[in-house]
DNA sequence: CAAGCTATCAAGTGATCTATTGACTATCAA
DNA sequence: TTGATAGTCAATAGATCACTTGATAGCTTG
């Protein structure tokens, strides 16, 4: 007979990764890392908690296999551990919205009234036609770490001062970190208040990147058949 | 300025679901429920813990939106809360294998030496040709709650006594709950010890079901274009 | 209604987790 | 070497969690 202890060990090991998602602080860190790799200090400031605490949570995430760490001179850079980690976080986030009314309510409270949104397919079509301007309203470092092709960086803080840069005869589409990020919502409200047609992109940068990747893979698999 | 409290509330709400995955006991319950709905008592027995404790963990899973509960006369039936919950659990499980060496080691310890496996595509082809026998070695109730089309139920306990039922001139493929379930491994070892060609299916029933569903959806989307 | 089964609740204890504080280490630059 | 910056460690107090035990509630059956 197989001992029960071995099975327990197995589930305990999986729970090691599960624990990563059990703390709101860690989720916030994951959410930030989904945008761009950062060092401890930046993460601490962005999430508004002490450096020591941030460091400890990052170590927990590291133990859970969700992030990688690399020393870079005097600082340590943490990054999400690959697409699988990102996918897992997004899956949890999305599942929580649809399964827990609590989450949806919290999201509404945080984001405020809903603003007009546009989906990926429609945006792609409009970009091809060239009759929209796409702006990335995240902080500049996140834009630099990766952004949608053709987007221009206008961090939300600077939007008010830089309205003139945007052509008045085009609709503006703003995107940010994802569905729970308020930047795009705020941007659209600001733009509309200034009398400009504007919508927000439903997806954020991480979702867009993954979608891009999977369509590429899909297209490739139509021509080349992969060997097992 | 938006208050930080609202963002915290949001992450706290998501962490509510995350907590579901932080305990090995709860993961074991999820794993059982991925096979078939059950009542508290059955789950307690199957996972080897007290009824009270099981009940409490189930309530935690319920609060996390991962399971549904329905009163059925004198007992209460718990079931996984839809495919999204299943997908999430499988995603966590798979991610943990690939990201944590710890998990892989625990799996090897539990499952013993690896046995020859067969993938979904190959099995489908062989089934079409009709030169394999597919057996479901899970407990009979799980088979009844759903199984692969064309499989025959031979619970692992009964396999030894029912060897004669299996045609000697066909290869046997056994499947069970999933990659971390020892039944199929054990079945293949038993069959091979009895001098019969046998392999295990890489997937378990839940994975198979989901794959079936997504290929169906895929086929459908080629003919009908879905409206947004 | 009483008995019997199933599930939940309530209380308590020991274990684990979280966040803070202050000390410590590593790296770089002067 | 010294100082400055970035990150980690160690100790701790308070909160939360896990599991047990014994009582209670809900449903069914006689």
Q: Are A40 and A58 in contact (CB under 8 A)?
A: yes
Is the Cβ pair B27, A15 closer than 8 Å?
A: yes
Q: What percent of chain A has pLDDT over 70?
A: 93
Q: Is B22 on the interface with A (CB under 8 A)?
A: yes
Is the Cβ pair A84, B99 closer than 8 Å?
A: yes
Segment B155-177 shows an average pLDDT of 95
Alpha carbon distance B154, B139 (integer Å): 8
pLDDT at A215 (0 to 100): 82
Strand C CB-contacts below 7 Å: A 19, 22-23, 25, 49-50, 52-53, 56-57, 60, 71, 73-74; B 39-41, 51-52, 55-56, 58-59, 69, 74-76
Is strand D less than 7 A from the beta carbon of B23?
A: yes
| Average predicted confidence (pLDDT) for chain B | 93
pLDDT at A6 (0 to 100): 85
pLDDT at A222 (0 to 100): 55
Could you tell me which residues are beta bridge partners of residue B118?
B201
Instruction: Provide the 3-class DSSP secondary structure of residue B31.
Output: helix
pLDDT at A214 (0 to 100): 84
Q: What percent of chain A has pLDDT over 90?
A: 88
Alpha carbon distance B153, B146 (integer Å): 11
Is strand D less than 7 A from the beta carbon of A74?
A: yes
Q: DSSP letter at A117?
A: E
Q: Are A135 and A174 in contact (CB under 8 A)?
A: yes
pLDDT at A216 (0 to 100): 75
- Residue B215 binned pLDDT confidence (cut-offs 50, 70, 90): confident
Question: Of A140-144, A211-215, B1-5, which gets the smallest average pLDDT?
Answer: B1-5
pLDDT at A124 over 90: yes
pLDDT digits (tens, 9 = 90+) for A180-201: 999 999 999 999 999 999 999 9
- Residue A218 binned pLDDT confidence (cut-offs 50, 70, 90): low
pTM of the model as a whole: 0.92
Is the Cβ pair A17, B92 closer than 8 Å?
A: yes
Could you tell me which residues are beta bridge partners of residue B67?
B80
pLDDT at B226 over 60: no
pLDDT digits (tens, 9 = 90+) for B63-82: 999 999 999 999 999 999 99
pLDDT at B120 over 80: yes
pLDDT at B149 (0 to 100): 95
Q: Is A109 on the interface with B (CB under 8 A)?
A: yes
B176 tagged catalytic: yes
- Residue contacts between A and B (CB atoms, under 8 Å): 173
Contacts of A99 in chain B (CB under 8 A): 17, 64-66, 81, 84-85
Residues 67-86 of B with CB under 8 A from A: 81, 84-85
Question: Of A1-5, A192-196, B14-18, which gets the smallest average pLDDT?
Answer: A1-5
- Best of A4, A6, A12, A13 to substitute, by most chain B Cβ atoms within 10 angstroms, is A13
Segment B190-197 shows an average pLDDT of 94
Alpha carbon distance B158, B135 (integer Å): 12
Contacts of A7 in chain B (CB under 8 A): 28, 110
pLDDT digits (tens, 9 = 90+) for A38-75: 999 999 999 999 999 999 999 999 999 999 999 999 99
Helix (H) or strand (E) segment spanning residue A94 = helix A82-99
Nearest nucleotide to A69, CA against C1' atoms: D7
- What tokens does A44 get? 């601490």
Nearest nucleotide to A49, CA against C1' atoms: C19
Task: Exactly one of A176, A184, A188, A191 is catalytic; name it.
Answer: A176
Nearest-by-CA chain A residue for B83:
A95
How big is chain A by its Cα radius of gyration, in Å? 20
Question: Of A26-30, A33-37, B223-227, which gets the smallest average pLDDT?
Answer: B223-227
pLDDT at A223 (0 to 100): 52
Q: Is B189 on the interface with A (CB under 8 A)?
A: no
pLDDT at B5 (0 to 100): 77
pLDDT at B127 over 80: yes
pLDDT at B6 (0 to 100): 85
Is the Cβ pair B103, A64 closer than 8 Å?
A: no
Task: Exactly one of B29, B40, B176, B191 is catalytic; name it.
Answer: B176
Is the Cβ pair A84, B102 closer than 8 Å?
A: no
- Residue A91 binned pLDDT confidence (cut-offs 50, 70, 90): very high
């Amino acid at each position: 007979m197989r001992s029960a202890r071995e099975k327990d060990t197995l589930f305990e090991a999986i729970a090691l990764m599960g624990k990563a998602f059990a703390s709101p602080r860690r989720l916030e860190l994951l959410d930030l890392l989904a945008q761009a790799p950062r060092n401890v200090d930046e993460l601490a400031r962005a999430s508004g908690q002490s450096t020591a605490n941030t460091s400890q949570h990052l170590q927990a995430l590291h133990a859970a296999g969700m992030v990688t760490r690399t020393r870079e001179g005097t600082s340590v850079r943490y990054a999400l551990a690959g697409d699988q980690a990102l996918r897992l976080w997004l899956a949890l986030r999305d599942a929580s919205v649809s399964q827990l009314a609590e989450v949806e309510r919290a999201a509404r409270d945080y984001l405020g009234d809903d603003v007009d949104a546009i989906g990926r397919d429609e945006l792609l079509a409009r970009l091809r036609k060239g009759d929209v301007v796409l702006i990335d309203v995240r902080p500049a470092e996140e834009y630099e770490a990766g952004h949608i092709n053709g987007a221009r960086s206008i961090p939300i803080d600077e939007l008010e001062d830089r309205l003139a840069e945007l052509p008045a005869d085009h609709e503006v589409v703003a995107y940010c970190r994802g569905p729970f990020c308020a930047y795009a919502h705020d941007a659209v409200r600001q733009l509309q208040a200034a009398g400009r047609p504007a919508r927000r992109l439903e997806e954020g940068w991480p979702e867009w990147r993954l979608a891009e990747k999977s369509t590429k893979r899909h297209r490739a698999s139509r021509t080349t058949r992969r060997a097992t």
